[in-house]
Amino acid sequence: MLKSFHDKCVLVSGQGPVADIANTLGFQKVMSMEQLRQNHPQLDMVDHNRRPTLPVSSCNRPSVDKIWSPEAQQLELTVFSVFQSSSLPTLPKIEVIILFGEPVRWETNLQLLVDVLLTNGSPGCEHTQVSSGHLPVLACNMDLTWMAEAPSPRFGHGMFLLCLESVYRKLTGQDLQYQALLGKPSLLTYQYAEHLLRLQNHNHTLTTIYAVGDNLMTDIYGANLYNRYLAQQSAMETSSKLFAKAAGSQLTMAEELVSTASQCHSILVCTGVYNPHSILSSDQSSSITETELHGHRDLVLEPDLVAPNHVVEDVEAAVDLVLQQEAL
């Protein structure tokens, strides 16, 4: 996947072992946000407790042994040694940004990502005026919110992407551009899912796929978009264009992911983000708005794509429906 970036230096953002995940996907030169922060501690200044303490010049510093405790003196010496040390490796220029999921410290990641974007991959340098684009950005998981144990949905990675887009737009006057948006509802995600289903089915042909989810703008949109793709795939030129648009690049694995299913049915469950009490007019073409459906900025808002084939109470009801539809 995205093999043209595998030999580039990529900065990865998200929680958990994202660097290991990137390596597993084939990216060979991976840098974490923490590695970047440790190498450039002066860039992370929002949290006062994490700010680096710069040593005071000898010409104007007071006598520390008169005003500081021994512990404070030792802390200053430690910080000073960090700034004087050459033990930290010099980081290569960042060539690609990969946003896997929402980070823990949003303020740190937002600041460092903007630094990378506005310095063309050299965050230790001064910001430059953006005139024509920026380095490639790959993003996964566009859900604005997700349902947890709280009574209302929680912020997802889509919310972090919205923040990054807003900050970049405010500072540059230009829109942040994505080389690829992956995960639901992108076509590549569903093609790969069908590929895995075929492997589990011992490469037997699949005819109908059922996609179950609770989010109109990711689960239902993606399933309906894939159903549209399946209906058009006989025209190879059209399918190739759709595939390239979803993936953000020319993919050499396209032949491996050729779809064999004839249709994909979307099933909406009411136990997550979707609120069955929020009324969507039957005339969806006139009632659906971006505010209501919380879709990502780059998704074309088409009423047909957010209309589920079936609406059920929960996953158990969805399974029962599939068994009924397939006469099993």
Most confident segment among 46-50, 191-195, 274-278: 191-195
Query: What residue ranges do the domains of the chain occupy?
Result: 3-46+89-182, 187-325
Topology given in CATH for the domain delimited by 187-325: Rossmann fold (3.40.50)
CATH (residue range 3-46+89-182)? 3.40.50.1000
At 232, list the tokens. 């058009």
Is it true that 3-46+89-182 and 187-325 share their CATH fold?
yes
The three-point CA angle 218-270-182 to 5° equals 15
Separation of alpha carbons 288 and 301, rounded Å: 8
pLDDT digits (tens, 9 = 90+) for 288-316: 454 455 667 777 778 889 899 999 999 99
Q: How far, rounded to the nearest angstrom, does the alpha carbon of residue 195 sit from its chain's CA centroid?
A: 22
Residue predicted with more confidence, 188 or 234: 188
Chain CA centroid to CA 183, Å? 8
Output 259 or 214, whichever has higher pLDDT.
Answer: 214
- 98-149 confidence digits (pLDDT tens): 999 999 999 999 999 999 999 999 998 999 887 778 999 999 998 888 888 8
| pLDDT score for 22 | 95
| Helix, coil or strand: residue 6 | coil
Model confidence at 273, pLDDT cuts 50, 70, 90, reads confident
Look at residues 118, 49, 258 and name the one whose alpha carbon lies nearest to residue 110: 118
More confident residue, 86 or 129: 129
What is the pLDDT confidence band of residue 88, given thresholds at 50, 70 and 90? low
Distance (Å, whole) CA 217 – CA 271 = 16
| Number of other CB atoms surrounding residue 46 within 10 Å | 12
Helix then strand then coil, in percent of the chain rounded to 5, is: 40, 10, 45
Residue 202: left (phi > 0), alpha (psi -120 to 50), or beta? left
Q: Please give the full DSSP string across 257-304, using - where no structure is assigned.
A: T----SEEEEEEESSSS--TTS---S-HHHH--HHHHT--TTS---GG
Closest CA to 182 of 137, 227, 148: 137
